[in-house]
Amino acid sequence: MPSAHFRRTTVALIITDECINCDVCEPVCPNQAIRTGAHIYEINPERCTECVGHFAEPQCQVICPVACIPQDPQHVETRAQLLLKFERLQAKAGQPPAERPNPAQCR
């Protein structure tokens, strides 16, 4: 188990059963990490960067009218890992490398 010094303060996101399928979170996700699931929307942790690289805070959490998108302790990542994931997703999409954002602005 990592020491407390190396733990991050945030983890990946998850949509809970409180989701009302209002359709507002999916279009605001810059990484297309949110998709329709069997009963509620779901977040693909392989694509979710918690908006690191795009915005200062996760846009799905900002727009959700029922606050059903908490952090998921099953998917712990550091801010640096989220930024690397952002860069990998951008490269895979054929986007030009963005200027590396200041980590303090990415959360």
Grade residue 102 by pLDDT with cuts at 50, 70 and 90: low
pTM, full prediction: 0.77
Q: Classify the C-alpha dihedral 92-86-44-63 as positive or negative.
A: negative
Residue 21: name the closest of 72, 71, 65 by CA.
65
Number of neighbouring beta carbons within 10 Å of residue 48 = 25
Domains of the chain: 9-93 (3.30.70.20)
What are the tens digits of pLDDT across the range 17-67? 999 999 999 999 999 999 999 999 999 999 999 999 999 999 999 999 999
